[in-house]
Structure 1
């Protein structure tokens, strides 16, 4: 059926995917933040779907051409020489550098260009000959100039600037010019432009803006002046427009002022529309309460479905104010999960359990948003708690932890965010047998256990799936090695402990997800101990692990991703991590598909790409089918090479 579609229909389908917005094409924020410095798949991939798509999409693809490297310019030059008809499709040309002799050939093959973008800040090593010789052959309708304000000019950039100013004076079709307002020669050229109708001026350099505008306004053909980037000025937009108008008599006639900055004239107050029967015809009385219950459950329930998922700790209390029905239906959901931010709130809740017996069976989850000073013991016999979660580390003694097990252990599913202090005596591990349904356990536990006491049953914690420690005493890990933990799949150690190797020796074969510190990776071969591991997270902080430790004695056929957690503000990350990535070998990880390193900042210009060790590492990994990603999930994509 798709093959029978007319070309016009196929063109309408592909246009949104291939269209380049004019805002992106005319963006002059600078080469460091070019809107086209992306790492997504090229839109040219649509042309490879079928011959019909190739035929229809080719004119759409060539309508707007963006050149960001010498390799792209060379490839376009080759394409235009092979098929000269393609050049006639080019209407907009954005050139973000100078790309050698290819530019002259491209310009000669593209006679229908109406919109031209040129970046004036270029490197001294750039070859401007092709562009300089080609510009006089053009006659665009709109010219957009981009420049970096605080960058010194070199010989090549001066030659390019001089050529542009000469062309502005000569181009007879030029009616719109968007320029940075930072160069006297450009301003003088615009004053002499023959048919210039609209000047779009950047307001970032406020101190000499009016001086340039006084020259531009002398162009008799000029019909309007538009200011952009007014939000980046030293003045508020309203003050800026007022100063500009006062600087030259003719500016008030030409300057376009947005409506939000124009003077507000008093007018009659807006009248309220008369209520109509049409606006009042909708009613919710016909909606069954069971439907509303389902809707409200999604709106107000705080407990996430999966352990470890994000917790919303701010209940939407405004819902109960909508109507009495909403208040009645939503109240049980609010009572199901309670948040305590102070001991006073908890004491009030404890008292309400005596005055409102029906509340006892409704409360399922406690969120403890306070560091401690709350005694859970009085409410434990009165409730059937399922989850106890500290949104910040909740300090408690091992005695309090034992009380939770004795009174609520059989119903508890999640214990997270608890910080158990170190006691004066050795603790008995038998309390763990009171949690048969516990699925997620997240602790900072400094209590020391008596590992020589009567052994704990191996079937203890039969439902445990996720285990996480922000701090842990080695004796507790020794206790866990005495258990079977048949359902354990996720384990997280944010700190180093010498007994982690013992723990992984016992349970590593079951783990699918492992999170450890870089010191653990350097001292223990986690890949040999965890043959079923799919995801590995390494907490590095300011340190860098040894690349040679990321290997396995045999092929690890399960590992798919490695993530590194580093400090947000690391100094010189490329210098520190470059040697690690260079030494990293992924030969023994045939299933590995991604490595995440948050400190990566992908280069966006051809000059920076050539020197970047990030790029070198990413392309070496791509040869092995592994993608290197940064904090935002941005993955490096290969560029054209000469």
Structure 2
């Protein structure tokens, strides 16, 4: 179909893929947005000759130079094809890249947008760029980064002086994009040049928060009579707590001084435009979160009832959805950090925690604010009134809200002590229908390990919870293994996730009690509980279990041995950690338990998460393994020189900060791992971003050597390393 399209239509389609977003081109972020491009868009040009002819002007319209080799290669192309230079409209140079930049600028007479940086190293060669800059006459200038004052070298001084001269001589310059850190202290020459530019009309200051002495900078820029608009990257509200002294870093304005807004001149107030939308966090918000209660206008009619015209069922459904966003914790495990969602904070009974002990936000307590203000020598802030949490606040509105809020709050519970279990049991006795609303329960204790409840009370509660989907036993809580039978009786058909991380045992357990969880897909097991031996003919099955996690704390090998005689038809992922304790009451040894488990279920496992100690055993015991993830606590590389696997496709490595895995990369061979195609590193921003970083990093040579064997190396965001174009001077020895 493409051959039937007109050239103009085809060009419009290809432009969607070849055009560089202006936000990326004019970005002043510390890390270049072009450092993470894995596949070049120029691949579209090799589809056919027609596509190359139509797309070439689009490809050359925006040029990004990030290395000396790129600049040299483009200079050669423009020398051989002089028409290509006329296509270039935007040029971004992210460093000093030699004489090639001069040839590119000289061959490109139609440049309208120019980006450069003043954050240069001593070995950056900017002579070529500086020699050609006066020949340009762009309409927009973007200064990617300023000289922070730490790099007073010849390259920085030459680039700064040339830029200042060009700002004064460029007759078409109308727009300037510059970081907000511009000041008399960091870049006095650049600031003087901007103040004296007679053609400049629009200035954009990038950054999400105003720096120190921002009012002085805005006043100087607004004093230029030709400047009509100054766009700030922050909101007007963020200027309120920004002053001209060091104390404003903490959001404190010294007595007798003015904030940045009050210090603006009349010209600056007229010309400065602030960012709109959500408030951008300020420096103060990093230390103190201010409470701003929205003004609520009360209805004139005291008998006003929202949604009074709706049916009872519709009104309850709407308020339930609203309160789910206000109260309910949709991520059960995160409830550990939000005590507001615990049983005590629902107002069901007295206990070690009350709703008054916690605020309805993550704000710091007012005592902390006063203490820090006192430390700075500032007046103390007024004492702040404590507030109820969201659950109790909703319950206090009316009886209808109390019923709805109670039901919503019961969806995700965190139980801290024995008193909480007793209170919840009493609530279920009064309102048994609430048992069907509970979707997750987390047993959690701030104190020393204790048995959270006696068997009768807790077992009775667990039997009533018929819609439970998630249960967690974490952080010092102690739930006995005998309670699993009650849990299976109540929610065996609905429970999908169980994290039994603190299981204790008053006596030997039976693995048959796990057979009642027909819907369980993920099981995390830790604890000292000992299990009785079983036989294959007992018919115990976990038909839906796909992921089994063992550890990282100790667990008894008898549990692993017992699972060996169960049917696990859907098991695919095994999170296997090293710590295993041979209990003195157990006759099962660690080695025999592991071997027995892999003999029974190893051929089903596709993904393994484990440490280096058991790598050989896991590779041998799982013949159909596809992915092996090293645990996050892995500190050393396993020996793989004599290991092999036919189906393994992915190795996921731990965080790489030191060259402790050299032997792993050297001995990794595609002959012994024929299916291996990917190595994943969880580090984000793992790859070097600049020419200088690439030349000093140890990872590009390793990634390129693996790529020659057909194995690509990816970072935490799935970006694989792509070999860069190099010159003789930049090529690694």
TM-score normalised by length of structure 1: 0.76
Instruction: Answer yes or no: is 1:596 the counterpart of 2:687.
Output: no
Residues 473-517 of structure 1: CA deviation (Å, up to 9, x unaligned): 122223333445444322222343344355334422221122222
Counterpart-to-counterpart distance in 1, 2:201 and 2:542 = 78
In 1, are the aligned partners of 2:90 and 2:111 still within 8 Å (CA)? Answer: yes
Q: 1:317 to 1:56 in 2, by over 3 A?
A: farther
In 1, are the aligned partners of 2:219 and 2:268 still within 8 Å (CA)? Answer: no
Residue aligning to 1:475: 558
Residue aligning to 2:724: 639
Residues 284-319 of structure 1: CA deviation (Å, up to 9, x unaligned): 99xx99xx99x98xx99x999xxxx9879789999x
Residue aligning to 1:617: 702
Query: Paired residue for 1:243, among 246, 260, 263?
Result: 263
In 2, are the aligned partners of 1:563 and 1:596 still within 8 Å (CA)? Answer: yes
Counterpart-to-counterpart distance in 1, 2:623 and 2:98 = 53
Query: Paired residue for 1:493, among 576, 584, 592?
Result: 576
In 1, are the aligned partners of 2:230 and 2:273 still within 8 Å (CA)? Answer: no
In 1, are the aligned partners of 2:332 and 2:442 still within 8 Å (CA)? Answer: no
Return the offset for 1:532: 0.8
Query: Paired residue for 2:714, among 626, 629, 640?
Result: 629
Q: 1:512 to 1:550 in 2, by over 3 A?
A: farther
1:547-562 to 2 correspondence within 5 Å? 548-549=639-640, 552-553=643-644, 555-557=645-647, 559-562=648-651
Residue aligning to 1:268: none
Residue aligning to 2:653: 564
Counterpart-to-counterpart distance in 2, 1:93 and 1:489 = 51
Instruction: Answer yes or no: is 1:519 the counterpart of 2:534.
Output: no
Return the offset for 1:99: 1.2
Residue aligning to 2:381: none
Return the offset for 1:560: 2.5
Return the offset for 1:178: 4.2
Instruction: Answer yes or no: is 1:9 the counterpart of 2:92.
Output: no
In 2, are the aligned partners of 1:388 and 1:415 still within 8 Å (CA)? Answer: yes
Residue aligning to 2:304: none
Q: 1:467 to 1:260 in 2, by over 3 A?
A: closer
Counterpart-to-counterpart distance in 2, 1:140 and 1:188 = 19
Counterpart-to-counterpart distance in 1, 2:468 and 2:133 = 73
Q: 1:46 to 1:317 in 2, by over 3 A?
A: farther
In 2, are the aligned partners of 1:395 and 1:419 still within 8 Å (CA)? Answer: no
Counterpart-to-counterpart distance in 2, 1:382 and 1:211 = 67
Q: 1:399 to 1:202 in 2, by over 3 A?
A: closer
Return the offset for 1:67: 0.8
Q: 1:77 to 1:209 in 2, by over 3 A?
A: farther
In 2, are the aligned partners of 1:409 and 1:434 still within 8 Å (CA)? Answer: no
Residue aligning to 2:527: 445
Residue aligning to 1:537: 629
SS state of the match for residue 575, structure 2?
strand
Q: List runs of 5+ in structure 1 lacking aligned partners.
A: 246-250, 262-282, 567-571
Residue aligning to 1:280: none
Residue aligning to 1:96: 94
1:26-425 to 2 correspondence within 5 Å? 26-30=26-30, 33-145=31-143, 146-179=145-178, 180-181=182-183, 182-190=186-194, 193=197, 195-198=199-202, 206=212, 210=216, 222-224=226-228, 226=230, 228=232, 239-240=259-260, 242-245=262-265, 252=267, 256-258=271-273, 339-341=413-415, 346-351=421-426, 353-354=428-429, 362=436, 365-371=439-445, 373-374=452-453, 375-379=457-461, 384=466, 387=469, 389-390=471-472, 392=474, 395-404=478-487, 407-408=489-490, 411=493, 414=496, 416-419=498-501, 421-423=503-505
In 2, are the aligned partners of 1:433 and 1:457 still within 8 Å (CA)? Answer: no
Q: 1:396 to 1:6 in 2, by over 3 A?
A: same
Return the offset for 1:35: 2.6
Residue aligning to 2:541: 461
Return the offset for 1:104: 1.7
Q: 1:110 to 1:340 in 2, by over 3 A?
A: same
Counterpart-to-counterpart distance in 2, 1:602 and 1:29 = 17
Q: 1:244 to 1:359 in 2, by over 3 A?
A: closer
Q: 1:317 to 1:608 in 2, by over 3 A?
A: same
Q: 1:310 to 1:433 in 2, by over 3 A?
A: closer
In 2, are the aligned partners of 1:114 and 1:141 still within 8 Å (CA)? Answer: yes
Return the offset for 1:93: 0.9
Residues 234-270 of structure 1: CA deviation (Å, up to 9, x unaligned): 658993354352xxxxx82796222679xxxxxxxxx
Return the offset for 1:115: 1.6
In 2, are the aligned partners of 1:459 and 1:485 still within 8 Å (CA)? Answer: no
Q: 1:218 to 1:341 in 2, by over 3 A?
A: closer
Q: 1:91 to 1:488 in 2, by over 3 A?
A: closer
SS state of the match for residue 116, structure 2?
strand
SS state of the match for residue 223, structure 1?
coil
Instruction: Answer yes or no: is 1:607 the counterpart of 2:698.
Output: no
- 141-150 or 351-360: bigger deviation: 351-360
SS state of the match for residue 89, structure 1?
coil
In 1, are the aligned partners of 2:611 and 2:631 still within 8 Å (CA)? Answer: yes
Residue aligning to 1:271: none
In 2, are the aligned partners of 1:121 and 1:151 still within 8 Å (CA)? Answer: no
In 2, are the aligned partners of 1:519 and 1:545 still within 8 Å (CA)? Answer: no
Counterpart-to-counterpart distance in 1, 2:666 and 2:117 = 34
Return the offset for 1:577: 4.6
SS state of the match for residue 162, structure 1?
helix
Residue aligning to 1:267: none
Q: CA RMSD in A?
A: 4.7
Return the offset for 1:143: 2.5
Residue aligning to 2:583: none
- 160-169 or 346-355: bigger deviation: 346-355
Residue aligning to 1:266: none
Q: 1:202 to 1:339 in 2, by over 3 A?
A: closer
Q: 1:58 to 1:398 in 2, by over 3 A?
A: same
SS state of the match for residue 3, structure 2?
helix
Counterpart-to-counterpart distance in 2, 1:469 and 1:612 = 37
SS state of the match for residue 367, structure 1?
strand
Return the offset for 1:589: 2.5
SS state of the match for residue 458, structure 2?
coil
Residues 5-55 of structure 1: CA deviation (Å, up to 9, x unaligned): 22333333333433333333223344xx22322234223233344444433
In 2, are the aligned partners of 1:602 and 1:614 still within 8 Å (CA)? Answer: yes
Counterpart-to-counterpart distance in 1, 2:195 and 2:329 = 66
In 2, are the aligned partners of 1:496 and 1:516 still within 8 Å (CA)? Answer: no
Q: 1:43 to 1:239 in 2, by over 3 A?
A: farther
In 1, are the aligned partners of 2:575 and 2:610 still within 8 Å (CA)? Answer: yes
Aligned residues: 590
In 2, are the aligned partners of 1:551 and 1:585 still within 8 Å (CA)? Answer: no
